[in-house]
C-alpha cells in the first residue's frame, strides 16, 4: 500500500499545509531552517508509527489559536494529519478476492487523526459488489445491494426444506449454503461493510519510520535499561539514541540472554550483526572503504553496598584496516555515525511495508557523501519503500528529479507553513537549495564535452528541455542528446560564460532579441571566441522584432502556464493588441512577476499540459530546436 498524499492542519506552526502529493519512490521537502519541515514529518509519523507509539497532544495545537479554538470547540474538530493511501496491484488482487472486484472503485482510502488520537476514515465502497461477491462464493444468486437487505434475504432462505426419501423434511442444499453464507457474513462484517473494509485496510497500512540526528548511536550504551524497557513495553521512555541501540541489539539477541554470562554466544551474534552492517556501509560509504564496525558486549563490575554487581554495555568500535587501529564510534565523524546508526535502526523494519521519514538526513556529510546517500536512498530503499526526506542542502536535491521536490515555506502567523508542488516561493532563499543543485549539476557536466548550449536563465533551460521532450514524444524534432545545457544566470552574465567556455569548447548560444545578436556577443565573435553561426536569436524563430523565450509559445499557451502558476485568469483579449513581448503585456495588466514561476509550473505539470499546446507553440519550438541542432559540428 502506498501513500498518495497528505495534509497537515493546525499542528504547531502549520495552519494548513495544503494537499501534498507523495512520489511513488522518493519525495524531497525543501525549505529554510524553521520553515516547518520537521513538523510535517512529526505529524506524519503519528499515522502508524514505528517502532514505538507516537500520539498527538493538544499542546501541539498552534499556541496563538489554542484558547480561542478551545472556547469555540474548533480544537475538538481539528484533524492535524490526513493521508490518502492506495492499494498496489498484489494488495488489490487479495482485497478483491474477499470483497469483490470493484468494491473499492478508486482503490484509495483516506485516514485522519484528531487531537484525541481517534482515527477517522473516508472510503468509497460499492456495497452491492460486496454482497454479490459473498453470494457468489456460496453459489447463491441474490440481487441485494446492502448487507442489511442481504441478511434479511438470507434469513428468509435458511429454513428452506425439502422432503427426503423417508418422507422427512430436511434442509435443501441451498439452505445449507445460505447458512454458510450467513456465518461468513457475520464473521466478515460484524458491523457495517465500510467498517469491515476499513479494518482490513488499516491492518495493512504501511508504518511510518521516522529517523533524525538525535537517533545516532553512542560508542558505549548500558544494556540493562534497554532490556528493562523492552520487557515492560516502555520503549518510549528511552532516548532516541537508546532506541537505536536497542534496534541494533534486536538484530542479535535482545532478550534475557544479553545479561547473562554466555559471552561466546553473545559475541558471535554481535560479530555477525557487525559484519552485515559493515557490508552495507562499504557498499554506499565511499569516503573511506577501509572502515569496519566492531560490536562487543563489555562487562563492568561495581559495588552496591557490600555486593559486587556487573553492568553490561554495548561497545561500538571502528577498525581502520588501512592504519591497523580501532577507536570508539564516538570519535568518528558525525556523518559516519549517522549512516551506521540509520542502517542499524532501519534494518528491523526493512522487510515490512514502511514509509521512511528522514529528517535532515546526511546533514553532517561531505558533499560527495551526500551524493552517495542520495544514491543509497534511490537504489537501496526507494525501490522497495517510499521515502520522504527534508533538506536545505543543495547536494541532497537530485536535479534530474525536480518533479519530486516540494517547497516548504512559513508565511507567518496568518498563514503558517505551506507546501508548494510548484517550484516557487515568496522567499527566494527557500529555493536556494534547488538553484544550488542545478548549479552543481551543471558544474559537474559542463566541461565533459564540446557540445555546450548556453541559455540566459533557468526558465530558458526549463522551457527548452520540457518542450524538447514533448516534441520527441510526438515523433518531431528534439534537442540532440549531445547537448549540455547551461543557464548562464541572465543576459548580463551570458557573454562572460561564453567567453570562459569559448576558449576551449564549442559553444552555441540562444539569446533574446530581434534579428541580430547583442553587441557584447558580437564582440566575442569579433575576438574569435564565438562563431557567428552559433548564435541563435529568438527573434529569427518567432519572426518578431524582439522576442524572449516566452514568445516562442503561442500567447494562449503561455497564458495557460502563467494562469496556472499565478492562480490568475488572464486571456489574450486582456492583453490588447500590439507587437510587444508577451511578458511586457502581462506586466502592464497584472504587474511584475517572477518569470521562473510559469516555467516551474510547466515543469511540475508537464505530463498533462504539453499535450494541450497548439500548433503555433509546437511549430516554433521545433524551429528553435532545428536551429540549435544545425549548429553542431559534425
pLDDT top residue among 330 and 162: 330
pLDDT-based confidence at 432, cuts 50/70/90? low
pTM: 0.70
559-612 pLDDT, tens per residue? 999 999 999 999 999 998 877 889 999 999 999 998 889 999 998 888 889 999
Alpha carbon 151 to chain centroid, angstroms: 44
Percent of the chain with pLDDT over 90: 42
pLDDT-based confidence at 466, cuts 50/70/90? very high
pLDDT-based confidence at 355, cuts 50/70/90? very high
pLDDT at 496 over 80: no
How large is the average pLDDT for residues 433-437?
Answer: 65
pLDDT-based confidence at 255, cuts 50/70/90? very low
How large is the average pLDDT for residues 358-387?
Answer: 82
The C-alpha atoms of residue 331 and residue 608 are separated, in whole angstroms, by 52
Domain ranges of the chain: 2-23+33-123, 127-192, 214-338, 446-629
Q: Give Cα separations from 321 to 17, 274, 318, 625 (angstroms).
A: 49, 15, 9, 54
**Mean pLDDT: which of 41-45, 426-430, 509-513 is highest?**
41-45
pLDDT top residue among 141 and 309: 141
Alpha carbon 575 to chain centroid, angstroms: 39
pLDDT at 431 over 80: no
pLDDT top residue among 358 and 432: 358
Residue 347 parent element (H or E): helix 334-347
pLDDT-based confidence at 434, cuts 50/70/90? low
The C-alpha atoms of residue 371 and residue 391 are separated, in whole angstroms, by 13
**Mean pLDDT: which of 83-87, 162-166, 433-437 is highest?**
83-87
The C-alpha atoms of residue 60 and residue 53 are separated, in whole angstroms, by 16
How large is the average pLDDT for residues 204-221?
Answer: 89
Report whether 508 contacts 452 (CB < 8 A): yes
pLDDT-based confidence at 262, cuts 50/70/90? low
pLDDT of residue 564: 93
pLDDT at 170 over 80: no
pLDDT of residue 318: 85
pLDDT top residue among 280 and 631: 631
What one-character-per-residue DSSP string does 394-458 give?
A: GGGS-GGGGGGEEEEEE--TTT-EEEESSS--SSGGGGHHHHHHHHHHHHHHTTSSS-EEEESSH
Report whether 340 contacts 329 (CB < 8 A): yes
pLDDT top residue among 525 and 360: 360
**Mean pLDDT: which of 301-310, 462-471, 490-499 is highest?**
462-471
The C-alpha atoms of residue 310 and residue 299 are separated, in whole angstroms, by 6
Cβ count near 220 (within 10 Å): 16
DSSP state of 173: H
pLDDT of residue 443: 55
DSSP state of 133: H
How large is the average pLDDT for residues 89-112?
Answer: 95
Nearest CA to 566 among 575, 558, 574, 576? Answer: 558
Q: Which three cell numbers stand for residue 602?
A: 510547466
pLDDT-based confidence at 185, cuts 50/70/90? very high
The C-alpha atoms of residue 31 and residue 410 are separated, in whole angstroms, by 9
Percent of the chain with pLDDT over 70: 88
* Cβ-based neighbours of 510, under 8 Å, separated by 6 or more: 453, 454, 455, 456, 460, 464, 536, 538, 549, 624, 628
pLDDT of residue 75: 93
Range with the lowest mean pLDDT among 254-258, 421-425, 546-550, 581-585? 254-258
Provide the mean pLDDT of the chain.
85
pLDDT of residue 397: 83
The C-alpha atoms of residue 473 and residue 101 are separated, in whole angstroms, by 34
**Mean pLDDT: which of 80-84, 230-234, 320-324, 394-398 is highest?**
80-84
The strand ranges marked E within 246-362 are 291-304, 307-320, 325-328, 354-358
pLDDT of residue 259: 45
Query: Looking up cell 557487525, which residue turns up?
Result: 274
How large is the average pLDDT for residues 101-121?
Answer: 96
pLDDT of residue 171: 78
Torsion angle in degrees (nearest 10) through CA of 609, 610, 616, 619: 170
**Mean pLDDT: which of 282-291, 360-369, 453-462 is highest?**
453-462
pLDDT at 118 over 90: yes
pLDDT-based confidence at 296, cuts 50/70/90? confident
pLDDT of residue 291: 81
Amino acid at each position: 500500500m502506498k501513500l498518495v498524499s497528505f495534509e497537515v492542519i493546525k499542528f504547531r506552526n502549520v495552519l494548513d499545509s495544503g494537499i501534498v502529493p507523495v512520489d511513488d519512490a522518493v519525495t524531497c521537502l525543501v525549505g529554510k531552517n524553521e520553515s516547518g519541515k520537521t513538523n510535517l514529518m512529526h505529524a506524519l509519523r503519528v499515522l502508524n508509527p514505528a517502532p514505538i507509539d507516537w500520539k498527538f497532544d493538544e499542546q501541539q495545537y498552534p499556541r496563538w489559536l489554542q484558547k480561542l479554538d478551545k472556547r469555540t470547540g474548533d480544537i475538538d474538530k481539528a484533524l492535524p494529519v490526513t493521508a490518502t493511501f492506495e492499494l498496489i496491484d498484489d494488495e488489490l488482487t487479495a482485497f478483491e478476492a474477499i470483497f469483490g472486484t470493484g468494491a473499492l472503485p478508486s482503490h484509495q482510502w483516506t485516514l485522519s487523526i484528531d487531537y484525541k488520537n481517534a482515527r477517522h476514515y473516508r472510503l468509497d465502497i460499492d456495497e452491492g459488489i460486496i454482497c454479490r461477491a459473498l453470494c457468489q462464493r456460496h453459489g447463491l444468486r441474490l440481487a441485494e445491494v446492502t448487507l442489511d437487505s442481504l441478511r434479511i434475504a438470507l434469513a428468509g432462505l435458511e429454513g428452506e426444506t425439502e422432503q427426503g426419501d423417508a418422507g422427512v423434511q430436511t434442509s435443501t442444499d441451498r439452505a445449507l449454503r445460505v447458512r454458510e453464507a450467513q456465518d461468513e457474513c457475520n464473521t466478515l462484517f460484524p458491523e457495517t461493510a465500510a467498517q469491515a473494509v476499513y479494518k482490513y485496510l488499516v491492518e495493512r497500512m504501511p508504518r511510518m519510520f521516522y529517523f533524525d540526528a538525535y537517533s545516532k548511536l553512542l560508542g558505549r550504551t548500558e544494556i540493562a535499561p534497554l532490556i528493562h524497557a523492552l520487557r515492560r513495553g516502555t520503549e518510549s521512555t528511552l532516548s532516541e539514541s537508546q532506541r537505536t541501540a536497542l534496534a541494533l541489539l534486536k538484530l542479535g539477541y535482545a532478550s534475557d540472554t544479553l545479561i547473562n554470562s554466555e559471552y561466546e554466544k553473545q559475541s558471535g551474534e554481535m560479530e555477525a550483526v557487525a559484519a552485515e552492517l559493515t557490508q552495507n556501509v562499504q557498499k554506499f560509504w565511499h569516503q573511506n572503504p577501509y572502515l569496519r564496525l566492531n560490536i562487543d558486549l563489555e562487562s563492568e563490575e561495581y559495588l552496591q553496598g557490600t555486593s559486587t554487581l556487573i553492568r553490561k554495555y554495548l561497545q561500538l568500535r571502528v577498525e581502520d584496516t588501512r592504519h591497523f587501529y580501532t577507536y570508539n564510534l564516538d570519535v568518528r565523524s558525525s556523518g559516519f555515525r549517522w549512516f551506521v546508526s540509520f542502517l542499524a535502526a532501519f534494518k528491523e523494519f526493512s522487510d515490512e511495508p514502511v514509509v521512511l521519514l528522514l529528517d535532515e538526513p546526511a546533514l553532517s556529510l561531505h558533499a560527495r557523501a551526500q551524493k552517495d546517500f542520495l544514491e543509497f536512498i534511490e537504489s537501496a530503499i526507494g525501490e522497495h519503500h517510499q521515502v520522504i526526506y527534508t533538506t536545505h542542502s543543495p547536494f541532497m536535491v537530485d536535479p534530474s528529479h525536480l518533479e519530486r521536490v516540494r517547497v516548504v515555506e512559513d508565511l507567518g502567523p496568518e498563514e503558517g507553513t505551506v507546501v508548494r508542488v510548484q517550484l516557487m516561493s515568496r522567499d527566494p532563499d527557500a529555493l536556494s537549495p534547488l538553484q544550488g543543485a542545478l548549479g552543481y549539476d551543471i558544474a559537474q557536466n559542463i566541461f565533459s564535452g564540446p557540445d555546450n548550449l548556453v541559455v540566459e536563465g533557468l526558465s530558458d533551460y526549463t522551457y527548452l528541455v520540457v518542450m524538447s521532450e514533448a516534441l520527441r514524444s510526438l515523433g518531431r524534432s528534439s534537442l540532440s542528446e549531445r547537448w549540455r545545457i547551461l543557464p548562464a544566470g541572465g543576459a548580463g552574465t551570458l557573454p562572460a560564460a561564453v567567453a570562459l567556455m569559448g576558449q576551449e569548447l564549442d559553444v552555441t548560444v540562444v539569446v533574446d532579441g530581434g534579428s541580430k545578436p547583442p553587441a557584447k556577443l558580437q564582440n566575442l565573435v569579433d575576438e574569435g571566441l564565438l562563431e557567428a553561426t552559433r548564435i541563435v536569436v529568438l527573434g529569427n524563430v518567432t519572426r518578431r522584432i524582439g522576442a524572449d523565450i516566452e514568445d516562442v509559445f503561442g500567447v494562449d499557451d503561455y497564458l495557460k502556464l502563467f494562469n496556472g502558476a499565478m492562480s490568475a485568469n488572464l486571456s489574450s483579449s486582456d492583453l490588447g493588441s500590439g507587437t510587444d513581448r508577451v511578458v511586457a503585456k502581462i506586466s502592464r495588466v497584472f504587474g511584475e512577476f517572477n518569470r521562473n514561476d510559469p516555467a516551474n509550473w510547466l515543469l511540475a505539470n508537464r505530463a498533462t499540459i504539453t499535450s494541450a499546446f497548439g500548433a503555433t507553440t509546437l511549430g516554433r519550438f521545433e524551429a528553435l530546436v532545428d536551429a540549435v541542432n544545425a549548429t553542431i559540428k559534425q
